[in-house]
Amino acid sequence: MLKILLVFLVVFAFAQAASAQDKTVLVIHGGAGAPPRKSLTPLLEAQYHAALEQALKAGYKSLAKGNSLDAVESAIRVLEDSPLFNAGKGAVFNRDGRQELNASIMDGKTKKAGAVAGICRLKNPISAARLIMEKSEHVFMIGEGCERFCRDQGMELVSPLYFHADKAWLDLLNAEKKAKGKSSAKVSLDPAHFGTVGAVALDKDGDLAAGTSTGGITYVRPGRVGDSPIIGAGTYAENESCAVSCTGKGEFFIRFTVASDIAARMKYRGDTLKKATTDVLAGLPKLTGGTGGLIALDRQGNAAMVNNTSGMFRGTITQSGKIHVAIYE
């Protein structure tokens, strides 16, 4: 009987160790509102998968030698540098034919945060947001003043032309055609342009971090800011609950303070990560084409990736290095 008990304890301990080793340490998304599956060619789908995997590997590498903030920044920088996603290089254009970039980042250990909005000359908005968090007394900076501060801190400025992507420009031209003959107040925004990128990470010390970066919505009014740079709406992280990054119809994510609501449900009601994320997204107003999606991660390595759109570009990597990426599955 004693031998059986000892065997059971050894097996149980091994199972627990294996489970802990394989916990999720990094989750990313490349935006909800993916195009219908039939319109995505095998080549383009493969390119999206490759970009997501590259971002996960970059974040994982940063986790190995740094912390959760490093992982979030590294992963998002890869997505910002790709013209496939609506952030950084692939940002969409507003009604004036300009790009206005927004981003935020938050440290779950200290609850420090940084955010930028309305910038067009900083190559990686997520790095600018982190610079605001670490090198200024502020949380949120916008426009030219933000760019000037980052430049003075040594960050390189680029020409706004750097961000030009052919697909984003064609999307703008198509949106303008649809708007012809309509009142500007009645122009319908295409749900497929909900693209945003984000990441949440858990490091070896048990500290969480979250970040989000976006180019906004095609043909949106100049000066509009969505949820991505707003702490508690599009981004939130605290070690007591979870880290969250959102993507979707930003106005609703702002009004319903989606990211912080998920954390509060876990901290004060004891909801699981799965229940909190599912319930909060389900509680948003319903839109044709869906409202959006989000990713989240807790200190136990539990991950959530939920959306109510046609698809969401997303991926995870575990502590053992196992990668999973998906769009429609």
Which residues belong to the active site? 196
Residue 264: CB atoms within 10 A of its CB come to 18
Contact 209, 236 (CB under 8 A): no
- 16, 62, 108, 164 from 277: Cα distances, Å: 26, 27, 18, 34
Q: What values do phi and psi take at 306, rounded to 5?
A: -125, 145
Rounded Cα distance, 239 and 327, in Å: 28
Tokens describing residue 235: 């981004």
Contact 218, 194 (CB under 8 A): no
Q: Measured between alpha carbons, how far apart are the two ends of the chain, in Å?
A: 46
Contact 305, 244 (CB under 8 A): no
Q: Give one DSSP letter per residue of 17-85, joined into a string.
A: HHHHHT-EEEEEEEEE-PPPGGGS-HHHHHHHHHHHHHHHHHHHHHHHHS-HHHHHHHHHHHHHT-TTS
Tokens describing residue 61: 């590498």
Rounded Cα distance, 50 and 43, in Å: 11
Contact 316, 201 (CB under 8 A): no
Rounded Cα distance, 166 and 197, in Å: 19
**Any idea which residue has 């959006």 for tokens?**
292
